Chains A and B, each alone.
Chain A
Amino acid sequence: MTSIRTTGLTKDFGDFRAVDHLNLDLPQGGVTGFVGPNGAGKSTTIRMLLGLIEPTSGEAEVFGRSIEDPSAYLHRIGALIEAPAFYPALTGQENLRVFATLGGHEHRRIAEMLKIVGLSDRGGDRYKHYSLGMKQRLGIAAALLPDPDLLMLDEPTNGLDPQGIVEIRNLLMELGASGKTVFVSSHLLSEIEAACDSIVMIDRGGVVFSGTMADLLGRNSPTIRATAENETDTTRLLELTTNAGYHTTRVNGGIEIDAPADWAPDLNRLAWQAGITLRELQARSADLEQAFFAMTGDHETGTK
């Protein structure tokens, strides 16, 4: 059973194509990360799924219901879209009361959600006096108000301190483990890697990867980084690794070898035998950042 399915979903803003024939198939339950460079189309995709933007072409379903009729499924969704948006002159509690009343949610959930996001003692403060992290927490509380089956969060850890990031990460993992579907975009790739079971990576409006985190990381080879003490030995070191059959590139005064971590001792031995002293030898397993840049072609420095 899928929670979100899109087929050829496309959105044009004038001549600019923000989302280009996007095909997604998101299972129910678990935490799925949604990553891509700035302007990749993540927010536009989320807005289309939430009925805020009409697609130019293509189809999409949420819980089996077409996005042409958002009222058929939005009651099962909680969302935080880009930056949290609330009424500055109202308190956190009053802001939640506005949306709880509009959505027909029980008002007792307001205090419960404030407690979950750690705002119990600041719920009576005006929103305009909140820090960025507190605003973010209130946004998550508002998204949780309807006790949603699907939670769509756009940059939920933005502005949070390290402790807040860990708390929100744990909360998302708990929600995912409880059977709810969490669809979360973030520019903090380490957070996505830590919290998500699966990942959807998009670039230039289209999906470049969709699958489990293990699948994605397995596609990218681990590397070994080595630097000779004497820089003139770098060329000889590169010859050694190339002759051993590994693809090697020069990187910042050293070399980077596409080789498994357990080959590092062999490299150390080979270098010693060749009379090369290594200043640095570091085995690095593949991470989401590497995978991200490999998939997106490193054409952007940002990741949103």
Chain B
Amino acid sequence: MMRAFRSEWVKLSRRNMLLGFGGAMLGFTLLFTVLVFMSVGGTDTGLDEGGETFVTGAMLSLPDGSLFAITQMAIFLGIIVLALFASNLAGEFNKGTIRMLFVTEPNRLKVLAGKLAALASFVAVWVAATVIASVAVGAVLASGAGVDTAAWWTGEGLAAIGAGYLNVTGAALVAGLVGAALAVVTRSAAIAISVGAAYFMLGESLISTFWDPLAEWGPAAVANALATGGAAGTSLGAMRPDIAYATAVILALAYGLVSLAISSTVLARRDVTS
């Protein structure tokens, strides 16, 4: 598995990958961070009943206020990660390199495990970079937005940053593993990414409109709840999810394991004809 892990990193460490997927994660996060701090004190665009304030200086001044931006946009990070996993796995089928991989390492599960571990480590590194960048940019913009960052640097604030990093990484990896399963089943990056992204961005919330329970256990809702710290998250105001953090963790693990089981079963049993 370690050979597969190191082999995958030969591909992941090239400039296009770093600037492409890594840059997209960083760029979206920084853009959202800037927008959040620019919107302090403004009101919602009307999506919220009663015109509740979208984000206030008080919310951002809390110990976990430094992570407001990145946790709120975790679903976008998840979609980028889903695209990364799906394009990587489906690309092996499209290019025909899957047969080269399986002839070189006949244990298909080792290849899959090494690949996913490498992709997960790539995501972990870039989420760390985005968290650091988001907090740093937030700190720079804070004074102009009337946000007091003193609580960010307390023990509680730094612990919140650490927990937030783990939560956002976990949420992104749930989406990534779902993307990997879609890619292995469909063998098409285009189908896997479009189906996965459409579901995470719109599909689940649309279905939830007609079927409320989905908001309590659907993968997009779970990823969002995990990223934002669940229903007990303190800095989220009206945007607090319905799912408790512990439930979100359990469901996220379940979605990850089910996705892994689908990927490994299909990959291990299917004839390689591409």
Contacts and interface: CB of A to CB of B under 8 A. Distances in A.
A54 B273 CA distance: 11
B97 A86 contact: yes
A176 B74 CA distance: 58
A102 interface: yes
Interface of B: 3-4, 6-7, 10-11, 14, 16, 95-97, 99-107, 111, 271-273
A14 B7 CA distance: 36
Contact of B3 (A90, A94, A101, A142): A101
A82 B273 CA distance: 11
A124 B100 CA distance: 21
Interface in A44-63: 47, 50-54
B3 A47 contact: no
Contacts, number: 78
Contacts of B4: 102
A205 to B, nearest CB: 16
A146 to B, nearest CB: 8
Interface stretch (A73-81, A213-221, A277-285): A73-81
A39 interface: no
A143 B107 CA distance: 18
B273 A71 contact: no
Contacts of A47: 99, 271-273
29 contacts: A47-B272, A50-B99, A50-B102, A50-B103, A51-B102, A51-B106, A52-B99, A52-B271, A53-B273, A74-B103, A81-B100, A82-B96, A85-B100, A86-B95, A87-B11, A87-B95, A89-B16, A90-B10, A90-B11, A90-B14, A94-B11, A97-B10, A99-B7, A99-B100, A102-B4, A102-B104, A102-B111, A103-B104, A146-B104
Contacts of A54: 271
B10 A94 contact: yes
A114 B141 CA distance: 53
A102 B107 contact: no
Nearest to B101: A102
A51 B101 CA distance: 12
Contacts of B16: 89
A103 B105 CA distance: 6
B105 to A, nearest CB: 5
Contacts of A85: 95-97, 99-100
B77 to A, nearest CB: 23
B99 A81 contact: yes
By Cβ-Cβ distance, the 7 closest A-B pairs, closest first, are A85-B96, A102-B7, A52-B272, A101-B7, A70-B106, A71-B106, A103-B104
A168 B105 CA distance: 26
Contacts of A89: 14, 16
Contact of B103 (A77, A88, A101): A77
A171 interface: no
A103 B3 contact: yes
Nearest to A81: B99
Contacts of B105: 102-103
B99 A98 contact: no
B10 A98 contact: yes
A220 B11 CA distance: 53
Contacts of A51: 102-103, 106
Contacts of A77: 103
A87 B14 CA distance: 12
B102 to A, nearest CB: 6
A88 B105 CA distance: 21
A104 interface: yes
Chain B CB within 10 A, most for which of A54, A85, A88, A90: A85
Given A53-B273, A99-B7, A102-B101, 12 more contacts: A51-B106, A74-B104, A81-B99, A83-B96, A85-B100, A87-B95, A87-B97, A90-B14, A94-B14, A98-B11, A102-B111, A103-B105
Chain A CB within 10 A, most for which of B99, B100, B106: B100
